[in-house]
Structure 1
Amino acid sequence: MAFHRAPGRHRRPTRVHRRSASLAGVAGLATVGVMGSFASPAGAAASGSPQPESQPDVGGTDGGGTDVGPARTVVLGDSLADSLTDQASSQAGAAAEAVAAEQADERARAEAAAKKKRQAEARKEAAEKARQVRAAEEQRAARAAEAKRAAAAGYVSPVEGSYVSTQYGAGGGMWSSGTHTGIDFHASSGTSVRSVAAGEVVEAGWGGAYGNNVVVRHADGTYTQYGHLSSLAVSTGQHVAPGQQVGLSGSTGNSQGPHLHFEARGGPDYGSDIDPVSYLRQHGVKL
């Protein structure tokens, strides 16, 4: 039996209509499974349903072949969905990679800045240490030069490289006269104590509040005293040269810690003290 295309209302659908029909077919297939409605006429006959002699061509070719529109729509819809999913995943992955790369760059910049800062601080610290070493060496050289000049003049400092920690004439209850009759040189226990000039030892031993002490008489008639010694290196009647060791510093007698108590006197008796700093400076010793 031949099939004839009916005129009028059974015209071939336009492209818009075909696209709408395809989309509608996809939606229907996803929800109610209407693939069975597009079964072949033989399948329809087997089910016992009456079949019309002719059917409108809604998805076939112009030649009137079998309708494959819905099946093609399903394939195209799945492909499009998979393509969109892949594209979204690819874009999300690219965005995540870009964020990770930016974070890595930021960490690298921070680490580089921190390293640069540490290097600058290390250079600054090294420069400061070098400056301190140079300053210490210059001080030692200056003190050595002063000691040589003083020795050439016949006088030296009683403690090499030290300084005055308590001035002459300082007041306080530690001293029986109420004032300090000498000066104290900073010196840890066991530091070498030297005679400031040539002379004769007139006392070497225990001196009461002075502890172990040495007194030297010089050629100009002045006397120098070295007190609170931990040990003695000379004896009474011995002649000493400028810079010769007379003992080691300590904290014997009336003392609150290791140091050297140094006095200069105009005579042999207590109370004839003179300013030790002026005395030493007059003889070329710089303090």
Structure 2
Amino acid sequence: MAKIAFIGLGVMGFPMAGHLANAGHDVCVYNRTAQKAERWVEKYKGSSAPTPAKAAEGAEFVFTCVGNDDDLLEVTTGAQGVLSTMQPGSLLIDHTTASAEVARKLDGLTRQQSLGFLDAPVSGGQAGAENGALSVMVGGTAADYARAESVLQAYARSQKLLGPAGSGQLAKMVNQIAIAGLVQGLAEAVHFVHQSGLDGEAVFDVIQHGAAGSWQMINRHKTMLKGEYDFGFAVDWMRKDLQIALSEARRNGARLPVTALVDQFYADIQANGGGRLDTSSLLKRLEKEG
């Protein structure tokens, strides 16, 4: 069992850190809102620290799971960041969905300090985090991944090393690009069901087991049929992720016309006050137009 620091207790980080504690690791957490760290300690019996730097003292593994590139740099390279106290030989594992550029930057900085680094964004949503069933896309060295693999199993249903630092973030972009098109297609399908007068429950009960089936269809069609969008992965978060993917596409020359279009559809939802709605609220936009 390892001594671990976990920085960031959002909807994903809170249960992920909990799985590590339940697996028997010695976990010290930090969260910008101290009350959330206190609630975590009450639930999981670990410890908390007032700064990322204090949390990382003596830790073998330091995990970060924060909002974006700027937040990540603050908790790692800031005056009270984890890099100021991490010991040589320890390993920084970042679960933030961020840019490949910041992953490569942190890889370089950690190497200068004789530290290891993995960029390891996750997919599976809040339910996947709570159930310990996340997919983890990892970038870094084989040696660092081998050290972390058994620890990541605390909340991973699947995990894979995909290449050097930044590869995990690039893979997460692939994931979000694929989801954007899927959710728009599902929204249009549900909208068509409504317009046609079909029994939506019956239709999706059949087709989710065929070629059209997907995680999104299986997990979201019922709530979409009911017009419920107050759960899951928020539009604001998806737009942040899609902007990262579109920026990378401009750099590498990839053409993402559908992704860019769906990003604008999400911008419409934000403009109408729906930034905190689930990403399946693309249907809401269609039915408003109708």
TM-score normalised per structure 1: 0.19
Q: Greater strand share, 1 or 2?
A: 1
TM-score normalised per structure 2: 0.19
Q: Greater helix share, 1 or 2?
A: 2
- Which protein shows a greater Rg? 1
